[in-house]
Amino acid sequence: MSYTGPGFEPPQPRRPRRRVLTVALAALASGGLLGWGVYAAVGGSGKDGTPEGASVSASGPASGATRTPSPSGGSTSPSAGDGGPGATSPSASAPAASGALKGKVVVIDPGHNPGNFRHTSEINRQVDIGTNRKECDTTGTSTDDGYAEAEFTLDVAHRMRTLLEARGATVKLTQDDDRPFGPCIDERARIGNDAQADAVVSLHADGSGTGNRGFHVILPGTVRSGAADTRAIVGPSRDLGERIAGHFVRATGSAPSNYTGGGTGLVTRKDLGGLNLSTVPKVFIECGNMRDSKDAALLTSGAWRQKAARGISDGIVSFLRG
pTM of the model: 0.76
Residue 215 lies in a domain: yes
Q: pLDDT band for position 287 (50/70/90)? A: very high
Q: Is residue 30 part of a domain?
A: no
CATH code of the domain containing 274: 3.40.630.40
Q: What letter represents residue 128's amino acid?
A: D
Mean pLDDT of 180-184: 98
**Whole-number Å distance between alpha carbons of 189 and 101:** 22
In a domain, residue 87? The reply is no
Confidence of residue 283 (pLDDT cuts 50, 70, 90): very high
DSSP 171: E
**Catalytic annotation on 286?**
yes
Instruction: Single out the residue of 271, 185, 272 nearest to residue 7, CA to CA.
Output: 271
Asked, for residue 224, whether it belongs to a domain, the answer is yes
Q: Mean per-residue pLDDT for 138-142?
A: 98
The residue with greater pLDDT, 78 or 154, is 154
Question: Which structural domain, as residue segments, surrounds residue 268?
Answer: 1-11+102-322
Q: Does residue 14 surpass a pLDDT of 50?
A: no
Among the listed residues 149, 151, 165, 286, the single catalytic one is 286
**Within-domain flag for 16:** no
* Pairwise pLDDT comparison (106 vs 41), residue with the higher score: 106
Give the E-state strand segments of 12-169 in sequence order. 21-28, 33-40, 105-110, 126-128, 133-135
Contact of 202 with 188, CB cutoff 8 Å: yes
pLDDT at 92: 57
316 falls within a domain = yes
**Tens-digit pLDDT profile for residues 192-221:** 999 999 999 999 999 999 999 999 999 999
Does 89 fall in a domain? Answer: no
Mean pLDDT of 163-192: 98
CA within 13 Å, CB half, 233 = 31
Say what the pLDDT of residue 1 is: 66
Query: What are the Cα distances from residue 318, in Å, to 7, 61, 91, 168, 182?
Result: 29, 24, 24, 14, 30
Torsion of CA 272, 277, 281, 285, to 10 degrees: -20
Element (H, E) at 195: none
Residue 120 lies in a domain: yes
pLDDT, average across residues 257-270: 98
Instruction: Report the domain count for the chain.
Output: 1
